[in-house]
Amino acid sequence: MSSPSFPPVTPLRPAWQIALLAGGMAALIALSGGWMMGYEEPAGFGWATYGLLGAVFAMGFSGCTWAAAQWMSPTGRASLCRPALGVLLAFGGLALGSTLDVFVPEAAAICMSIGSVFSIGTALVMLVVFPRTAPMMRQRVATAAGILSGFAGFLAIQLHCPINELWHMLFGHGLLPVVWGLIGYWAARLAFR
């Protein structure tokens, strides 16, 4: 008795191509979102703050896309250390350019929700970019894609919002990658039990 024949599996693209596509799409969504809403420069932001935040976004986007692309293969090795360091540096960058003033939770919630709109858009695109993953890596890919989506929302709202109050920036802007990373993790955990 002969064994059943299965159609050949289409090989995955190289990780760098997948990472480049995912990062490019996320950046395009974030930058076009910031452009559509209109750019507002927060008072008190100097070159050091912009430089640090630029490094933060580069670390977040590249680290998340590389990790997710690596984890699409069962043998892929990656880490979320770069994106996690990016989040910590983001808090430092936001603190560097911000001032302590009256914290208005409603304004922070509005920024979080506007940023989340762009995070949702990015997450939907990531569902197309990362369609196939190894069963044991799905939660990792979803977490990395969620953090990436949060960074996209963070960049979009950071380009638009002129408020530079410390707690507003931390809760309304900087927490987006953390929140969306948790959403990605729990969505994958519930979907792939």
pLDDT per position as a tens digit, 100-141: 888 899 999 999 999 999 999 999 999 888 876 665 688 889
> Could you tell me the mean pLDDT of each successive run of 10 residues in the chain, 193 residues long?
65 82 94 90 74 85 89 81 83 80 92 96 91 73 93 93 90 93 92 75
Q: What share of the chain is helix, strand, coil (3-state, %, to 5)?
A: 75, 0, 25
- What pLDDT is recorded for position 112? 96
Give phi and psi for 165, each to the nearest 5.
Answer: -75, 135
pLDDT on residue 191 = 83
Rounded to whole angstroms, the Cα distance separating 110 from 107 reads: 5
Whole-number percent of the chain with pLDDT over 90: 39
Predicted model pTM? 0.87
d(CA 151, CA 6): 40
Give residue 136's pLDDT: 67
pLDDT at position 119: 96
